[in-house]
Amino acid sequence: MGGTYELNVEKRSQPKAEYHTDAYYALDLPVAPAIMVEDEIVIEGKDISEEELEAAIRRHLGLPELPPSEKKGLLNRMLGR
């Protein structure tokens, strides 16, 4: 989605055990796996659909929701369908 929207993406990856330490909890970050858009926790502890993620990004950017006909999956967008 970085090609569709101007985004700064930060990815954090560490061993699973480190997500259950006092130091991690002190950061007040969500339980992994998680996706945050700015300070909004979009999803925590499970996966998310691309449509849900794009909706959260669009809300954050102040853009209107996509009409149902434009909600395409990643593969369809990559193939231009």
Per residue in 40-55, pLDDT (tens digit) is 899 988 888 888 888 9
Under-70 pLDDT residues of the chain: 1-2, 69-81
Are residues 57 and 37 in contact, defined by beta-carbon separation less than 8 angstroms? yes
Whole-model pTM: value is: 0.64
**pLDDT (0 to 100) of residue 62:** 92
Report phi then psi at 37, rounded to 5.
Answer: -120, 110
**pLDDT (0 to 100) of residue 73:** 63
